[in-house]
Amino acid sequence: MTHHTSPKAGTAHASAAPMASMGASLTINGTPHQLLIEPWTTLLDLLREQLGLTGTKKGCDHGQCGACTVLLDGRRINSCLKLAVSLDGSEVTTVEGLGQAGRLHPLQAAFIEHDAFQCGYCTPGQICSAAGLIAEGHARSREEVREQMSGNLCRCGAYTNIADAVLEVLEKGDAR
Ligand code: FES
Ligand code: FES
């Protein structure tokens, strides 16, 4: 009548075969870092766990929600999908690098002004994605903003206010 599986079934012991960390140099928010990184570490985990940059959020960890969006050499990417060791020589900008309290990025200020968040979990990814979107220069209208940020999900449904905030910065043309 026992239905539980053997305790050994499916277990993997990572400690059995330690792998060497690999060296990589990345510039993160303008600061150069020489890093030792385990080969399987994603950029997201490097940022959050190794560097303490917890502004970047982990949602799905599978490239489906956009919570982990950062800028890689100025282009927006899902950091959960990139192995950090593959980014040797790259520049990464996280939400902390866009702005801080007292010197907010225009997008951060616009998100506050337009009430473009509720729980805030998606917000750093939305802001990094919007910075990348504006730099790309392809979005002109609300529909285009919505479409080109469709990879950034908001479980609170703040999409209308997010689009308002992004459009304001887009139209003012003052995104740094
Ligand atoms: S955490 Fe990376 S896309 Fe969801
Ligand atoms: S503000 Fe809650 S998920 Fe977007």
- The CATH number for 115's domain is 1.10.150.120
- Whether this prediction's pTM lies above 0.75 is answered by yes
Spatial separation of the C-alpha atoms in residues 113 and 108, rounded to whole Å: 9
Average pLDDT on 81-95 reads 98
Spatial separation of the C-alpha atoms in residues 170 and 176, rounded to whole Å: 11
**Is 166 in the same domain as 129?**
yes
Q: So what's the pLDDT on residue 176?
A: 62
Residue 122 Cβ < 6 Å to ligand 2: yes
CA-atom Rg of the chain in angstroms: 19
From 18-27, 52-61, 63-72, 90-99, the region with the lowest mean pLDDT: 18-27
Spatial separation of the C-alpha atoms in residues 18 and 23, rounded to whole Å: 16
**Is 90 in the same domain as 24?**
yes
Does pLDDT of 145 surpass 70? Answer: yes
- Give domain status of residue 12, yes or no: no
Spatial separation of the C-alpha atoms in residues 137 and 173, rounded to whole Å: 10
Q: How far is the CA of 119 from the centre of ligand 2 (A)?
A: 5
